[in-house]
A and B are shown apart, each in its own frame.
Chain A
Amino acid sequence: MCAAPLTVGRSVPRREGADKVTGRARYTDDITVPGAWYGRTIRSTIARGAIRSITQDTAFDWARVVVVTADDIPGDNVVQLIRDDQPVLAPKGGEIRHREEPILLLAAADRDTLEEATSHIRIEYDTAEPVFALDQATDVFSTVEITKGEVVEGLKDLEGVEVVERTFRVGLQEQLYIEPQGAIAIPEAGGTIRIIGSLQCPYYVHRALKRALKLTDQQAVVVQAETGGGFGGKEEYPSIVAVHAALLARKAGRPIRLIYDRHEDLAATTKRHPGVIRHRTGVKKDGTLVFQDIEIVLDGGAYCTLTPVVLSRAAIHAAGPYSCPNVRIRARAVATNTPPNGAFRGFGAPQSLFAAELMVEHIAERLGVSSVDLRRKWMLHLGDTTATGQKLTESVGSEMVMDAALKAAPTVRPSDRPTVRRGRGLSLVFHGSGFTGSGEKKLQGTIGFEALADGTFRILTASTEIGQGTKTIFCQLAADALGVGLDMVALAPQDTSLVPDSGPTVASRTAMIVGRLVQEAATEIKEKLKREKAPLRLEKSYIQPDAIHWDETTYRGDAYPVYAWACTIADVDVDMTTGEVRVTDLVTAVDCGKALHPVMAEGQIEGGCLQAVGWATIEEIKMKDGGYQNDRLATYLIPTALDAPRIRTILVENPYSRGPFGAKGIGELPMDGPAPAIIAAIHDATGVWLDEIPATPEKVLAACASR
């Protein structure tokens, strides 16, 4: 028998590509369910206080709708995640901690009735003084402290050491998946509730349903529909949508469609954590890095969500991809009375790397040396140790990506428009692939693998396709490991009644961690088939390699199994009369280990880069009374095709021994590099340093004026 040609490394057609280009792909709102009613969430209009009363106006015939309050929750009134602080629905007399906090749920047969019912509900509050400012926030969600070598106070000889200090600020950002949040809940026999939804993590939703609705493992069924983008925004928030829909379905005894419109999605769902990052760095005149002292404060919003994990990733990446003998990183996440912030591509690292990379620029300027040379002097190499004391033993691409990006970047030519100044900036970043520390070990992500009687194979995984290519690359990995054609392998639906918990589709872990399980399972079943006949089924769970050591209490050790690396060069045009910043060109070289599917890898990197360009330049959320002022797509702007730079991606392959075919995770990495490169480019163009993003025209003009 002659083996099928290998598919890994080839850009085969996307599995669900034909469905997506013909309109056949079924997203949540495309699925018709007979007899379904429409659901709606009634939310708080105050930032802090308590609900005094909820009045249903008797002028309306309430028999036409279903109303769900906190009293209708059969299980715990808790959104299951890390900390039990967030209620599914704020109870009467209960505390309101942010605007848009869910209080009531309504459902009706049609949208007009729903609208009418909504206008007949009155909620009165006793208001309290909200906390919005980070420096006034006293409630701390979590803290992280990382130390390496001596802390600055302990350093004996600081003679001849220059100390550079700077404070940076980063703003809120909306994921802005183009398909808003939504779920359909269907009550079935035996107390089962089936959820069909737009989501990244079926088992997060499964756990949340079990907890709030008091369901067994079997009674809670979660099925992912085709999902129109996630970027972290559909990591934890879908639990809320699904539980709400399920509560309505349970009370109504009929299916419920709870589909957010864009306005509700923007106003109520999680955003990227804003924060303040302070750096104090000691360097010698010759550029030798002596110490880094870093303080991070992130705004978690009103409830904990995933904030401690975001903070952890922010802290671990805060020193940048550099080797420094003495490091102290102190990070804390605090509570404010704003809607909760949550998972968003990069998960804290873009925030802390933004500051770290700009610090390199400021120090280079102080020393009068090139920042590229300084990076070369400081960058982590094989055998170096990170801030957590992790010794890097393989697949360190720092130098490779920098060389590749510098080589590919075109020459900068001055603009022919008299009011426009042009500049270039560079950044070097790394991003840990997979969960932090012992995360993967605790989770033990599992997949199933089947050899079917008809000779084909089936992968059973809860890892979801959200546009990044899971469906395609998993089949590639399995086909190559089995030595069969791609058409012989399929993925089972992401349905919790069919597939085991492979862990969430987050943290740059799907290709590297779960993909490796797919490869191993396929290899194992191929061996088994030599002795046994199909049908066969096996399960494979993640086992932490012995070489990985992490101490949760001291934050010492191998924070991640491996890192992916990127060097990004951004060219900008700054209009000196309007302050407008346009990113014209972006070159990014990425060490991805191995590009399993080069076109998809590039596509994911380019999309991530543009999301970062938006964060750095135009995506600004203005707050008013604890709510978002620009909570419509007409006022929250993301880059269009006209705003987007030409992006050139260079894939650098530097294999990782425990990744599938050498691959590392790259989903989040492209979010890290562009922002600091753009701010450096603005400096190159104008001579002014911005310490805060987004670099809006107002900020650019103000900085230029105060020069």
Chain B
Amino acid sequence: MRFTLNGRTVSLDVVGTRRLLDVLREDLGATGTKEGCGEGECGACSVLIDGEVVDSCLVAVGQVEGRDVVTVEGLALQDGKLSRLQQAFIEHGAAQCGICTPGMLLAAHVLLEQSRRLTADDVREGLAGNLCRCTGYTKIIDAVLSCTK
């Protein structure tokens, strides 16, 4: 099977029913995507499929045939520099233990792609599928809002 991962085509010989999460982590070495619960509750395994935020623990790899998958490894700029959002996460203290950060960044990335005129409530709603236990979310919301200006 083939799909695009972070802009590059990957072709794999895998059982189509395996979880996308496992194929990313174990076959493709993209361990930035994390498993927090394995049942689609925490969002630590969030990836983008054709630009939408999806829990990769609930997706069979066969479902992404021919589609465009983006993980946290694909968020930095072409030259390897951190994106504005990644920088904002560091500056605002939005990453503490960091385990929710990859999924949170992807969810925030999509929010900012959709609109640059976000309120704090929009951000809360947009990130409600991604659990964080360290920050209380305040710093994460600050970081995302800082990218709207």
Q: Let me know if A229 and B93 touch, CB within 8 A.
A: no
Stretch at the interface among A46-54, A95-103, A600-608: A600-608
Q: Give the distance to chain B from A104, nearest Cβ to Cβ, in Å.
A: 23
With a CB–CB cut-off of 8 A, which chain B residues contact A176?
A: 133
Chain A's closest residue to B132 (CB) is A178
Which residues of chain A from 257 to 280 have any CB-CB distance to chain B below 8 Å in the complex? 261-263
Q: Nearest 6 pairs between A and B by C-beta?
A: A23-B32, A228-B99, A467-B97, A20-B98, A606-B136, A467-B96
Q: Return the chain B residue nearest A645 by Cβ.
A: B136
| Stretch of A10-18, A75-83, A620-628 contacting B (4+ beta carbons < 8 Å) | A10-18
Q: A180-B36, A607-B134, A638-B131 are in contact. Are A468 and B96 (CB under 8 A)?
A: yes
A642 interface residue (CB < 8 Å to B): yes
Quick check: B133 and A602 within 8 Å, CB to CB? no
Asked whether B31 is an interface residue with its Cβ less than 8 Å from the other chain, the reply is yes
Chain B residues with CB below 8 A from A180, complex form: 35-36
Q: Give chain A residues whose Cβ lies under 8 Å from the Cβ of B128.
A: 640-642
Q: Is the CB of A227 within 8 A of B32?
A: no
Give A443-489 interface residues, CB cut-off 8 Å to B: 466-469
With A17-B90, A21-B86 known as contacts, the answer to whether A633 contacts B42 (CB < 8 A) is yes
Residue of A nearest to B139 (CB): A603
- Which of chain B's residues have a CB closer than 8 A to the CB of A607? 96, 132-136
Q: How far is the CA of A18 from the CA of B90 in the complex (A)?
A: 7
The contact of B133 among A18, A30, A638, by CB within 8 Å, is A638
Interface hits, A586-639 → B, CB 8 Å: 599-600, 602-604, 606-611, 632-634, 638
Within 8 A of A (CB), among B11-70: 25, 29-39, 41-42, 44
Contact code string A86-120 (vs B, CB < 8 Å = 1, else 0): 00000000000000000000000000000000000
Which B residues between 98 and 149 are near A, CB-CB below 8 angstroms?
98-102, 105, 120, 123-125, 127-141
B124→A641 contact, CB < 8 A: yes
14 further A-B pairs in the complex, CB-CB below 8 A; given A606-B135, A633-B42 = A23-B32, A26-B31, A27-B34, A29-B34, A179-B44, A599-B93, A600-B93, A600-B96, A604-B134, A607-B133, A609-B136, A633-B36, A633-B41, A642-B124
Interface residues on A, range: 35 or more
Q: Does A647 contact B (CB under 8 A)?
A: yes
User: Which chain B positions have C-beta within 8 A of A688?
Assistant: none
Q: Known contacts being A599-B93, A607-B133, is A22 close to B38, with CB within 8 Å?
A: no
| A-chain residues with CB within 8 Å of residue B29 when the two chains form the complex | 32
List the A side residues contacting B76 at CB < 8 Å: 22
Complex CA gap A180/B44 in Å reads: 12
Q: Is B3 an interface residue (CB 8 A)?
A: no
Closest beta carbon of chain B to A666's beta carbon, Å: 14
B93 to A262, Cβ gap below 8 A? Answer: no
Q: Compute how far the CA of A591 lies from the CA of B107 in the bound complex, rounded to whole angstroms.
A: 35
- A285: interface (CB < 8 Å): no
Does B5 lie at the interface of the complex (its beta carbon under 8 Å from any beta carbon of A)? no
Q: Which residue of A lies closest to B125 (CB)?
A: A642
> Are B137 and A179 within 8 A (Cβ)?
no
Whether the Cβ atoms of A611 and B133 lie closer than 8 Å is yes
Segment 25-69 of A: residues with Cβ below 8 Å from B: 25-27, 29-30, 32
